[in-house]
Structure formats: structure tokens, C-alpha cells
Amino acid sequence: MVVPYLVTLAQASRQSPTSATSPNWAGYVAQAQRPFTAVEGSWVQPAVACNGSADAAAFWVGLDGFRDATVEQVGVKASCATGRAEYRSWWQLWPGPVHFLPRAYAVHPSDVMHASVTRSGTTFTLSLRSSAGWSFSTVRSAPADSSSAEWIASSPPACRTCGFTGLANFDTVSFARARAADGQAMQSIGSFQRDNHLISVTMIGPGGVVRARPDPPCRTGSPFVVTWESP
């Protein structure tokens, strides 16, 4: 069974022009008047603590998904299925299947990951690079609006019709070099704060419990941190 790594934020609650809640996203979404042509970001892979075998957490950058039904994304998943965290790199053109990279593309805590998605028409290049010395890139075609760009920590659903997994405790993850291009040159995440084009997304679980939340990015494009709060 295909396991998706997100639910589009069309199913989320927009709280204000600059904030939203989601059952399984925490981080930032940028919107623009023109379609996006690129997004990139880096993070230090956090060590994940497992409280349950179903717990998981994923960290990624991508295009689309905020108000549409497609997402082009690449990142790392930490899974607790064996009782201790296992880290796998992956990419996905939602609603297509998740593609895990071969074991040669191993990820460990403290590895610095750099991810990017670029678009030319309906052609997308999804790339992932590790400070461990490897890099990966794949070129795929997909119909998409490219109407948003994302830097996200997420809790994957257990299956297409199941509820979300427990959010594995990653403590904090810091996204750096968070930039996107909307048909022009790459801009820092801070530049999208103009005209309310940058949206903070807080992950909210059943009963209104905060699962994870981001802190504000600086206008200079300095890193922002997503903090784990509950499963």
C-alpha cells in the first residue's frame, strides 16, 4: 500500500493571512502571484527518539500542496517501526507513490541535508545532497500549478485511509538556506513576508493539542526552527 507523506493543506484551517494549522505539517509555506520555479533548503538531520513503533517524522522541501492536490517533494523520513529510529531518504510526486532511495544514500543524525525542487514547464528535478558525501537527483514530469513552496516537518499518515502516525520526538529541526524562486531570482524565505505571502503552519492534533510549531524566520533569511511538542 502506498504511504503518502502529507495531506494537502486544502484540508487544513487557515487562521489568518499569515498562519494556518494542519494535522500533519509544521513549518512555512510561501505563496506568490507567479508560479514557483524552484525551492531549496538545508537542515541538520535531528536524532529521533521513539516512543511507539508507529511513530515517524519526515523533513522535506517541496512545491505545491497548499491549495492544490499535487506536491513535488524530497527529504528524509525517520521511522520507529523497528523500535529504534531508522532514517531513509525519499522523493515523491504526490499523489504518486513514495520512492525511497537505495541504502547507499544513507542518512544519520547530524548529517547536513540539502534538498531542492526545480521546475521547467511540467518537468521537475528533485535533488538531495548529504554532508556524508553523496548526492541524488531525478527528473520527472507531472502536471502541477507550482503555486506554493514549502519547508516542512511532517507526520506521515499510516496509510491512505488511516489516521496519522504518532509524531516521533525530533526535539528541534532548523531549516537554513530556505529560498524559493517565483519566476525570478532565488529569494530568501524572509522576502516572502511582504504582502502576507509567507504562512506559518502549526501542526495541531486531536483536541487542539499542538504537535509541532515553527518559530519566525528573520527577514535576512536566517534559519528558522520547528520544535516538537507532542506525539
Q: Assess whether pLDDT exceeds 80 at residue 103.
A: yes
Q: Is position 3 within any domain?
A: no
Assess if residue 171 is contained within a domain.
yes
Q: Which residues contact 229 (CB under 8 A, 6 or more apart)?
A: 209, 210, 211, 212, 213
d(CA 74, CA 113): 11
pLDDT tens digits along 133-155:
999 999 999 998 899 999 999 99
User: What global pTM score does this model have?
Assistant: 0.91
Residue 167 lies in a domain: yes
Rounded to an integer, what distance in angstroms lies between the CA atom of residue 201 and that of residue 231?
A: 17
51 falls within a domain: yes
CATH of the domain at 217: 2.60.120.700
In a domain, 91, yes or no: yes
pLDDT category of residue 10 using cuts at 50, 70 and 90:
very low
- Domain extent at residue 31: 9-228
Residue 56 covered by a domain: yes
Domain count, the chain: 1
Nearest-10 Cα torsion for 182, 188, 189, 192: -50
| Residue 54 belongs to a domain | yes
Residue 205, in any domain of the structure: yes
pLDDT of 193: 85
